[in-house]
Structure 1
C-alpha cells in the first residue's frame, strides 16, 4: 500500500485564506474593534486547546 499524500501545507494555506476573508467580512460589517475581539477570542481558544493537548 502506498503512503497517503501529505496535505498539511494545503490545509494550512486554505485555513489562512478562510481566516482572512472571514475577518475581512467582520471588519466590513462591524469594524476593526470586532476583528480585534474575534482575534483575541480565537487566540484564547487556541491556547486552551494547546493546554489540553499538552496536559499542562
Structure 2
C-alpha cells in the first residue's frame, strides 16, 4: 500500500482564501475596465462599472431577503 494511505496524521484545516479572492477581484475588474476604456471609451467603462455596482447592491438585498426568509422558517443560514 502507498505511504499516503497508511499515514494516520489528522487532516489540517483548509486555508482561508477570502482576502486573496477579494484582492484578485479588484485586480481583475480594474484591468477589464481599463481594457474596455481603451477599446470603447470612458462612457462604456463607466456604464459597466455602474452596472456591476448595481448588481452587487442587488445581491446584498437578495441575500438579506433570503436570510430573513430562512429565519422566518426557523433556520439559520
What TM-score does the superposition give when structure 1 sets the normalisation length?
0.90
- 2:17 is aligned, of 7, 22, 32, to 7
Unaligned runs of 5+ in 2: 1-10, 69-77
Give how far 1:3 is off.
1.3
Is 1:21 the counterpart of 2:46 in the alignment? no
* Number of aligned positions between the proteins: 56
Please state which structure has a larger fraction of its residues in helix.
1
Unaligned runs of 5+ in 1: none
2:42 matched to which residue of 1? 32
What TM-score does the superposition give when structure 2 sets the normalisation length?
0.67
In the alignment, the residues of structure 2 paired with residue 13 and residue 44 of structure 1 have an alpha-carbon distance, to the nearest angstrom, of: 20
Greater relative contact order (Cα < 8 A, sep 6+): 1
